[in-house]
Amino acid sequence: MALASRAAVSILAGLAAVPATAHDDPIHAIEGFFSEANIVSGPEIVECTLSGGTETSCFSITVKPEPTGYTPGPWCPTNIADGADKGGIWFVDGGIADVDGDFITRLAELYGDTEWKLYDDDTGEVRYTGTLAACEAAARPDVDPDYNNYCVQCLPEYVAEDTAVTYVIPMTPALMDSPAQTTRAGSGLAWNGIRLDGPAPVDAILGAHTIAPFDDCGGHVNTHVGYHYHAVTTCLDDAPGATTEVAAKDRQIGIAMDGLPIMAHRDDLVDQLDQCNGMTPDGGSYRYYAGEPGSNAILGCHVAEVGCTLEDAGGTCDATMTHAGPPPGAGQDGPPPPPMND
């Protein structure tokens, strides 16, 4: 079945049940789901305009991009003798590989390009971005030539202490005629308050002979949005609640920017999912399933209109509008211009 028709049947069959089926009071379910996030304010019900122009009710939640259950990292090993415990993970051939010292020595072989060389032959030391200035020079689309052949990492302490992001997400999904990419607003928001991002710009990263590893939870940092995920691993398995009915084998890990629930990846369902990584289980309503960790696609696309990500907690969500993107140097991995209206 084509995506549009499958999505229409799936969502319309259970639309009224999302996200309120877990509780009679939907905002109560949302409060419980995000109870372990680093919340600045919310969640609260607000009026909003979605990406397709639908005027509706959304929930708004402002969070710091800092997980409360673990300390992010590590990302880059510092020496080719380092084991997997000293580095993170990276995408390789549709899977993930440990970024240990041995991985660093094999980059030329892995990518069939002899220009790869991220370490010193004599000392074994790995070249990595160890300062804020180095992070900002390397983690951008036009990588400073001085940082070609570097392992790129930005540490959480490089992000301004008062950084917070407001997510405005529809209470009831508004189905679109055709799916939309997740690069505009990101995929969604995890239960711990961390952004579930769109695909990482791997081609741009590799084009400068750099890698930008994720930690074992699938996250890394840029100075614009802070810590965020490009892959979902087992770190999100233990949500404190759910916003929809969850089957015995399912674990809800987030809410998509279009208001639909996101479940943890399930290998046994891959062949049943549409191109957005979604399906309607027997007796349930449409939901997404996170892509495999190495897929570079937490979601394949959105089937419903998305809300907003706001830098100004007092802003009003009009997702039909876009502002200019982040300032130069904000990060090659930073989000595209977020839909917002201040």
Alpha carbon distance 278, 262 (integer Å): 9
- Check residue 105 and give left, alpha or beta (phi > 0: left; psi -120 to 50: alpha): alpha
Q: What is the pLDDT of residues 260-304, one digit of tens each?
A: 999 999 999 999 999 999 999 887 899 999 999 999 999 999 999
Confidence of residue 17 (pLDDT cuts 50, 70, 90): very low
Alpha carbon distance 310, 46 (integer Å): 13
Per-residue confidence (pLDDT) for residue 231, from 0 to 100: 98
- Kindly state the tokens that stand for 193: 């308050």
Per-residue confidence (pLDDT) for residue 102, from 0 to 100: 98
Alpha carbon distance 126, 104 (integer Å): 8
Per-residue confidence (pLDDT) for residue 141, from 0 to 100: 78
Which sign does the torsion angle of CA 226, 229, 233, 239 carry?
positive
Question: What strands lie across the sheet with 308-310, from one edge to the other?
Answer: 39-49, 55-63, 165-170, 308-310
Q: What is the pLDDT of residues 83-98, one digit of tens each?
A: 999 999 999 999 999 9
At residue 311, what is the residue type? E
Q: Is the pLDDT of residue 81 over 60?
A: yes
Per-residue confidence (pLDDT) for residue 182, from 0 to 100: 93
- Total domains in the chain come to 1
- Kindly state the tokens that stand for 183: 């690069």
Confidence of residue 322 (pLDDT cuts 50, 70, 90): low
Alpha carbon distance 19, 263 (integer Å): 13
Question: At a CB cut-off of 8 Å and minimum separation 6, what does 18 contact?
Answer: 172, 173, 243, 244, 259, 260, 261, 285, 286, 287
Give the pLDDT mean for 134-148. Answer: 92
Q: Global pTM?
A: 0.88
The percent of residues above 70 in pLDDT, for the chain, comes to 87
Which sign does the torsion angle of CA 30, 35, 36, 38 carry?
positive
- Looking at every residue in the chain, the average pLDDT score rounds to 88
Question: At a CB cut-off of 8 Å and minimum separation 6, what does 318 contact?
Answer: 48, 49, 308, 339, 340, 341
Confidence of residue 334 (pLDDT cuts 50, 70, 90): very low
Q: What is the pLDDT of residues 174-203, one digit of tens each?
A: 999 999 999 878 999 999 999 999 999 999
Q: Is the pLDDT of residue 309 over 90?
A: yes
- Kindly state the tokens that stand for 119: 């370490």
Alpha carbon distance 132, 143 (integer Å): 14
Question: At a CB cut-off of 8 Å and minimum separation 6, what does 325 contact?
Answer: 334, 336, 337
Q: Which domain holds residue 214?
A: 1-342
Cβ(149)–Cβ(118) below 8 Å? yes
Task: Give rounded-to-5 percent helix, strand, coil for the chain.
Answer: 20, 25, 55
Give the pLDDT mean for 218-239. Answer: 95
